[in-house]
Amino acid sequence: MDQSRITSQVEQADIEVTMEATRHRDHPLVRTIGALSEITDQPPAFTGAALAALAGLLLNRPKLAEAGLRSFAALGIATLVKGTIKSSVTRTRPFMLRDKGHYDTRVGGPDDGPWNSFPSGHTANAVAIARAVSRAYPDTAPGGVAFAAVVGGIQIPRGSHYPLDVAAGAVVGLLSEKVVAILWQRAPAAQPGCASQPRAAAE
């Protein structure tokens, strides 16, 4: 079986799963969780990270400041990466196919919301935040995984993304946060609380 045929079959399965899931997009639970997932959209995500960092610095809570700064940096990288991909790859969102019968995927093409399904930005942000926070607060790791899974998963039935978009978004989030983690290790003097270890340990 040649690669193009395999790719076509994977894409078709991706579409079929999504179309089945979007039958439930008007369910109150899907609508509610979908609305709540908007906290991972760029403006609220960046705002939340910045506020956490500021609060941590003002209140002398190094771990909170660290979580906020790590999250903000990871979000910045994720935004740059996903923006570059979205502007280069066209994939219409599921609601375009369900509502208008239109599906398109190719390199290039329109760089606009309905054509920017790949990758999922909400998922990238959720994963980046969850991983960043868990660096400062390791006990939050399981909850962070669950949070990111819910945010990513709900994008499918609400008609915003296909499963492959969500998977790609998760990879973007993971890699973006990993870059921050590496840079953070190499710049210990820039880390909040490096001079306040007793307080950090108490948190």
Question: What would the pLDDT profile of 128-155 be if each residue is shown by its tens digit?
Answer: 999 999 999 999 999 999 999 999 999 9
The domain limits of the chain are 25-196
Tokens, residue 119: 């990758």
The model's pTM: 0.88
Compute the half-sphere exposure of residue 149: CA atoms within 13 Å on the CB side of its CA: 6
Backbone angles phi, psi at 138, to 5 degrees: -55, -30
Question: What would the pLDDT profile of 84-128 be if each residue is shown by its tens digit?
Answer: 999 999 999 999 999 999 999 999 888 888 999 999 999 999 999
For residue 157, the model assigns a pLDDT of 98
Question: What would the pLDDT profile of 61-85 be if each residue is shown by its tens digit?
Answer: 999 999 999 999 999 999 999 999 9
For residue 202, the model assigns a pLDDT of 38
Residues 6+ apart with CB under 8 A from 198: none
